[in-house]
Every structure is written in C-alpha cells, then in structure tokens.
C-alpha cells in the first residue's frame, strides 16, 4: 500500500468526537505511536514522501492568556550507515541544535526505570529552550528500528502548560512500539 494512502487511512478512520488514543503507523517503518486523543491531528507540514510527520494539538490557553499549540514532529530517514549505533545517530542529530540555545536537562534510556520509553534501541533527551521569552520543554527521542530507519521524534510545548499537559507527551513516549 502506498505510504500516503496508508497515512490517510489511519487518520481518516477515527471519529473526531472520540476521546481515545489514536494509533499512528509511520509508513515505511514498523513504528507505531498513539496520539493521546482527538484533540491531536495531522498538520499541513506533513510530507510523507520525505518521511516528515507533524501533529499538533488543539490550542491550549495558558495562564498568561496565550494560545499554545503543543506539537509532535517525526522525521524518518535511512540509517543504514549507522549500523544500529544509536549513540552516533543521536549525537549527529543533536549536533544540529548545539548553537540554538537548547539545554540538555536529562538523558534517559529504556534500561533506566524512570524512562518512559520502552523501545529497546532508543533514547530520550529531556531538553529546554527559550523562544521569544517563552520557556519550552522539548523531548527529543531517537530510535533506530530493525529495518535501519533512523527516527527522530520531537515533542514540544511551553513550560507554562507543562504541568497540565505533559502527561500527554509521556503517554505518547510510552506508546512507541515496533509492530
């Protein structure tokens, strides 16, 4: 089945009034993740031909009356040259952020009991940054699947809504599996 068609089927097959998790199968990979509920949707930035997937939450109003739109961004690429070496893959991807003011607050691996990610060849970087005087929390997830796809998943929201909505990100991270 063509990747774009599969993508449309996955997103067209749910009732938008439902409050249950929504499965997302990343075309060309065996990776599946669950969006928390129907307040999340595919965004126009998605380009399945390039392995780029964007999901956005319906806007949330924070304590300063700002409209905040949490986002999940997924990038899939050929990682054959890494030969399954997750550390080298993640270091190369993190290097792109070195001069952008992103602070690495915590690295988590599935072997750590507090790590929400259970995917074996993956890691989570809990990071923070400030953009336009607004503090953000971003989770950067790096995976290499059994088919040698390098997968980057970024979950980004402002810290001002984190206490109320960060559990949604934890649910997404916990849901990542290979089928």
What CA–CA distances, in Å, run from 56 to 41, 94, 107? 6, 23, 25
Report the domain count for the chain: 1
Question: Residue 2, SS3?
Answer: coil
CA 98, chain centre distance (Å) = 19
How far, in Å, CA of 13 to CA of 20, rounded? 13
How far, in Å, CA of 161 to CA of 134, rounded? 11
Task: Write down the pLDDT at residue 74.
Answer: 96
Q: Binning pLDDT at 50, 70 and 90, where does residue 98 land?
A: confident
Element (H, E) at 60: strand 60-61
How far, in Å, CA of 121 to CA of 85, rounded? 9
Residues of the chain with pLDDT > 70, as a percent, come to 89
pTM, two decimal places:
0.87
Task: Write down the pLDDT at residue 15.
Answer: 40
Q: Tell me the CATH number at 10.
A: 3.40.1000.10
**Residue-wise pLDDT tens digits, 111-148:** 998 999 999 999 999 999 999 999 999 999 999 999 99
168 has a pLDDT exceeding 90: yes
Question: Do the bridges between strand 60-61 and strand 71-78 make them parallel or antiparallel, or are there none, so unpaired?
Answer: unpaired
165 φ, ψ to 5°? -115, -5
5 has a pLDDT exceeding 70: no
DSSP 86-150: HHHHHHHHHGGGTTTT-EEEEEE-TTSTT-S---TTEEEEEEEEEETTEEEEEEEEEEE-TT-EE
Which tokens hold the place of 164?
Answer: 């109320």
Task: Write down the pLDDT at residue 19.
Answer: 60
Q: Could you list the residue range(s) of the whole structural domain that residue 144 is in?
A: 3-178
4 has a pLDDT exceeding 70: no
162 has a pLDDT exceeding 80: yes
Residues of the chain with pLDDT > 90, as a percent, come to 76
What average pLDDT is seen over the chain?
88
**Residue-wise pLDDT tens digits, 9-54:** 344 433 444 467 889 998 888 899 999 999 999 999 999 889 999 9
Q: Average pLDDT, stretch 68-90? A: 96
Contact call for residues 143 and 176 (beta carbons, < 8 A): yes
Give the contacts of 23 (CB within 8 A, at least 6 positions apart). Answer: 10, 32, 33, 34, 35
Task: Write down the pLDDT at residue 97.
Answer: 86
């Amino acid at each position: 089945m063509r990747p774009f068609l599969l993508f449309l089927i996955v997103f067209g097959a749910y009732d938008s009034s439902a409050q249950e998790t929504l499965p997302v199968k990343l075309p060309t990979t065996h990776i599946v993740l669950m969006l928390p509920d129907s307040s999340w949707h595919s965004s126009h930035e998605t380009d399945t031909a390039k392995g780029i997937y964007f999901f956005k939450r319906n806007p949330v109003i924070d304590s300063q009356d700002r409209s905040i739109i949490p986002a999940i961004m997924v990038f899939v690429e050929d990682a054959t040259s890494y030969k399954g070496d997750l550390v080298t893959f993640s270091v190369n991807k993190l290097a792109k952020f070195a001069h952008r003011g992103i602070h690495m607050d915590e690295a988590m691996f599935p072997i750590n009991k507090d790590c929400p990610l259970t995917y074996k060849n993956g890691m989570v970087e809990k990071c923070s940054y400030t953009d336009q005087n607004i503090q953000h929390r971003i989770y950067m997830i790096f995976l290499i699947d059994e088919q040698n796809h390098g997968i980057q998943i970024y979950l980004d929201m402002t810290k001002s809504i984190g206490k109320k909505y960060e559990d949604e990100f934890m649910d997404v991270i916990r849901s990542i599996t290979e089928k």
